[in-house]
Amino acid sequence: MTTPRPAPTEADAAIEAWVQRARGGDLTAFNQLVLRYQDPVYGLTLRMLGAPQAAEDATQEAFIRAWQRLETFRGGSFKSWLFTIAANQARDELRRRGRRPTTSLSGNNDDDDLPDIDPPDHDPTPLEQVEQAELRGALEAALRTLPDDWREVVVLSDIHGMDYREISEATGLALGTVKSRLSRARGRLREVIRSSRELHEAAERLGDRR
């Protein structure tokens, strides 16, 4: 796990209960699960597809399929199971498009293509805020230039906190492939961070001189 896996909590128990009731045909219980997970599921499909409308469609379709296949959920992490369905949905969409989506979107500087992002919870200094906003923007842009296969893996791992085994299950990739794609994606993003940092250092030097 890239982020610490929380110990079972009351929330987990509630999810388990909703899953059970939804299995029994309780749509209200299922919709509780939808409301709980729609943000990360939408976030995942948006990152994979790069376009809000396509992400909406994939998200809706993922929840419909989740309802339809609830019988096949064998316990474990419901979120991982749901993400597997959503990632499949997004991957199918990419396949339908002929695998040429997001790189072209990065050249298309339409604000609609940028995800709707809320500021982080902690309160950074104004300078940090600027830096972080810039870094985020740079990372978002860099993410969109990654090959679809790499992006899927790095999004599942570093944005959604899935471990190698979970990613392997969600994508059908071998563990070794998960490991290498993740590392390649991070390596590419590392260049972005380095250049962003160099830019800041240069700006600071310029400020000092004044």
Partner 1 sequence: MTPLERLEERLSAYLDGELTSAERSAVEAELEASVEARETLGDLRLVRSALATLDDVRAPRSFALAVPPARVPAGGSLALMRRLELVVRASAAGAALLFVVAVVHEPMSLATGGVAEEAMTTFEATAPGPETLRAADPAGASVAPAFAPEATPASSQPALAPAPANGAVLPPSSGGGAGEGGVMGAAGADGGQGGGADGTTPADAQPKGDLAATDVETFATSASPVDDGPGTIHVPETSHGVGGVAPALATLTVLLVILSALMAWSRREDQSQR
Residues at the interface with partner 1 (CB under 8 A): 1-3, 25, 27, 30-31, 34-35, 38-43, 46-47, 52, 56, 59-60, 63-65, 67-72, 88-89, 92, 95, 115-118, 120, 132, 135-136, 139-140, 154, 157-161, 163-164, 179-180, 182-184, 186-187, 189-190, 193-194
Query: Measured from the CB of residue 48, what is the shortest distance to partner 1 in angstroms?
Result: 12
Whichever of 98 and 210 has its CB closer to partner 1, that residue is 98
Place of tokens 């309160």: 123
By three-state DSSP, how is residue 55 classified?
A: helix
Whichever of 103 and 192 has its CB closer to partner 1, that residue is 192
| The one-letter amino acid at 101 | P
Q: Which of 173, 166, 175 shows the shortest CA–CA distance to 76?
A: 166
Whichever of 47 and 102 has its CB closer to partner 1, that residue is 47
Whichever of 111 and 208 has its CB closer to partner 1, that residue is 111
Whichever of 60 and 103 has its CB closer to partner 1, that residue is 60
Integer Cα distance of 28 and 48 in angstroms:
29
Residues with Cβ within 8 Å of residue 163, at least 6 apart in sequence: 1, 2, 157
Query: Measured from the CB of residue 115, what is the shortest distance to partner 1 in angstroms?
Result: 5
By three-state DSSP, how is residue 8 classified?
A: coil
Query: Measured from the CB of residue 144, what is the shortest distance to partner 1 in angstroms?
Result: 12
By three-state DSSP, how is residue 110 classified?
A: coil
Query: Measured from the CB of residue 135, what is the shortest distance to partner 1 in angstroms?
Result: 6
Q: How far is CA 163 from CA 156, 170, 186, in A?
A: 8, 11, 15
